[in-house]
Amino acid sequence: MKRLEGKVALVTGGARGIGRAVCEAYADEGARVAVADLLEAEAVHTADALGENGMAVVMDVTDPDAIRTGVKAVEAHWGGIDILVNNAGIFKMAPIGQVTREDYRRQFDVNVGGTIFASQAVVPGMRKRGGGAIINLASQAGKRGEPGGKARRGERHDLLFDQGGRHLHHPVAGAGIRK
């Protein structure tokens, strides 16, 4: 028996990079995997490579409505979601003097907002199933500054491991959802 046999996973930013590798590894372990990404063609390509265990879901994680629609589509197709991997993320290196308002907003909307609203969308279904797992990617750079990235690197570390980690914890406490 494979370790994820019978499980359904949704991986944000699953079309390429680390997300794609997670999709492939989970499918190898027997999971059915929803490849969720804003890049439709690449998401379909990655999902197709997983055969019947793959499903492409087009979503921009900065749009809570699109996330909810995508989550509902996966739940309708496979009956629920057991694992959410909050992988979608962007990072643009720039010294603090060159950070624009738009860069700042986009980075927070994807990396922080995406993590919050994707988690929010899957928790009700996980509660009904009696549990689940939410896995959040961040970077060691959130703890240790690097030249050129100082203005923007701590945001997910702060969310996931310091203040927000506790905020995310309360709504799922006692529901059997690991994070």
Ligand X SMILES: NC(=O)c1ccc[n+]([C@@H]2O[C@H](COP(=O)([O-])OP(=O)(O)OC[C@H]3O[C@@H](n4cnc5c(N)ncnc54)[C@H](O)[C@@H]3O)[C@@H](O)[C@H]2O)c1
Q: Which residues bind ligand X (CB under 6 A)?
A: 12-13, 15-19, 37-39, 59-62, 87-91, 110, 137, 139
Q: How far is the CB of 164 from ligand X (least distance, A)?
A: 15
Tell me how far CA of residue 19 lies from CA of 57, 65, 172, in angstroms. Answer: 13, 22, 24
Q: How far is the CB of 63 from ligand X (least distance, A)?
A: 8
**Closest CB to ligand X among 53 and 86?**
86
Q: Quote the Cα angle for 155-126-154, to 5°.
A: 5
Neighbouring residues of 93: CB distance < 8 A, sequence distance ≥ 6: 148, 149
Q: How far is the CB of 6 from ligand X (least distance, A)?
A: 26
Neighbouring residues of 164: CB distance < 8 A, sequence distance ≥ 6: 112, 116, 158
**Closest CB to ligand X among 99 and 175?**
99
**Closest CB to ligand X among 92 and 129?**
92
